Amino acid sequence: MFKVDKNKCIACTQCIKDCPVHVIGLEEGKAVIHNEGCTECGHCVAICPVDAVSTDTYNMDEVLPYNKDTFTVGADNLLNFIKFRRSVRKFKDKEVEQDKVLKIIDAGRFTQTSRNSQDVSYIVVSEKLNELKALAYESLKQKGEAILANLTPETEHLKRYANLWIHSYNEYQKDPSKNDSLFFNAPLAILVTSPTPINGGLASTNMELMVNALGLGTFYSGFFLHATQDNEAILELLGLQDSKRLISCLVIGYPDVSYKRTAPRKNAQITWL
C-alpha cells in the first residue's frame, strides 16, 4: 500500500499530475492515494520533492535520491557503448561472481513493465549447466532428425539447421569440453521468463547492457530456446510448465576475445511523417 505522510506533504500536486492511473487526489490540503486502482508504479515516490510518499509493498531502502553525477550517462558515450557491444562466443575458464550476477538481474528487475506488472522472472543456471546442455543437445538432435525425415518444400529451408544440430550433437558427444557449440563453455546462463514477451525482451536488453558494463560477455542463445519447445525434460529441470514463458537465454562469462572497434551496420530505415 502507498501512503502520504501528511506532516511532510506540501500539496504541490506533482504526484497528482504525474500519476498514470489518476488515483491520487487532494483532500483537506493534502495528497491522498486511493490504492484500489493503484498499479504501484512508484511515480509518486519518485516525484515527491519532500519525500512524503512511501510504501510497505516494496523495500524503501532501495529508493535512492537523484544525484546527477551518478545517475546520468552522456548520450555520445551511451551510443558508443551500444555500438561497441558484441555477441561473445569465446569465454575464459573463470566463474562469474555472484554479486555481478545479482547486478545483472537488478538491471532486469528495474526495467519498466506494462502496467507495472513486474511479471519477469529469472533462472540462473550454473551448477546444473552441463545437465541442461546434454538435454538441449539431445533435443536439437531429435528435432533435426524429425525435420530431415519429413522434408517438404515448405521446410526445405530448415534442412541446414537440422544437419547443423545433428552434427553439433555428434561432436559434443566426442568431446564435450572442446566441442560445445551451444554454450561455448560459458560458466553461466540466465534465462528470462515472462508471460508478456515485450516485458521479458526489455528486461533482457538492459541485462545485456549491464553484462557488458561489468566486463563480461554474452550472447542470446536462440538454439537453446528452440530446444526447450515442448521438451518436458528441460522444462522439468528449469521448473517451468510452459516453454512459451521463456523469452531469452543469456549465456554469460568472461570474454576470451578482445575487439578493437565497432562493427558496421546498414543505414537505418526511417519513415518521417
Q: How confident is the model at residue 188 (pLDDT cuts 50, 70, 90)?
A: very high
In the predicted model, what is the mean pLDDT of residues 89-100?
98
Cα angle, residue 125 at apex, residues 123 and 129 outer, rounded to 5°: 145
Nearest to 231 by CA among 161, 136, 159: 136
Domains defined along the chain, listed by start: 2-62 (3.30.70.20), 75-131+179-253 (3.40.109.10)
Q: Is the pLDDT of residue 264 over 90?
A: yes
Residue 193 to residue 190: CA distance in whole angstroms? 10
Half-sphere exposure of 124 (CA within 13 A, CB side): 13
Q: Is the pLDDT of residue 243 over 90?
A: no
Tell whether the model's pLDDT for residue 162 goes beyond 90: yes
pLDDT bracket for residue 244 (50, 70, 90): confident
Strands (E), 158-205: 188-193
Query: How far, in Å, CA of 249 to CA of 273, rounded?
Result: 37
Q: What is the pTM assigned to this prediction?
A: 0.94
- The cell for 70 is 551518478
**3-state secondary structure (DSSP) of residue 140:** helix
Whether residue 162 contacts residue 145, with contact meaning beta carbons closer than 8 Å, is answered with yes
Q: Where is 26: in which H helix or E strand?
A: strand 24-27
- Give tens-digit pLDDT for 249-259: 999 999 999 99
* Cα 101 to Cα 87: distance, rounded to the nearest angstrom: 18
pLDDT average, residue stretch 143-157 = 96
pLDDT in tens, 46-76: 999 999 999 999 999 999 999 999 999 999 9
> Residue 242 has what pLDDT?
87
Average pLDDT, the chain: 97
What's the average model confidence in pLDDT over 105-129? 97
Torsion angle, alpha carbons of 100, 104, 110, 111, to 10: 160
Joined grid coordinates for residue 13: 500536486
The mean per-residue pLDDT over the stretch 92-108 comes to 98
- The single residue listed with the C-alpha cell 528441460 is 234
**3-class SS of residue 218:** strand
Query: Cell 526447450, residue?
Result: 228
Phi-psi region of 215 (alpha: psi -120 to 50; beta: other; left: phi over 0): left
Q: Are 52 and 70 in contact (CB under 8 A)?
A: no
Q: Mean of the pLDDT values across residues 182-205?
A: 98
Cell numbers placing 60: 524503501
pLDDT at 212: 97
Locus of grid cell 554469460: 252
- Dihedral sign of CA atoms 229, 230, 236, 239 in order: positive
Average pLDDT over residues 85-95: 97
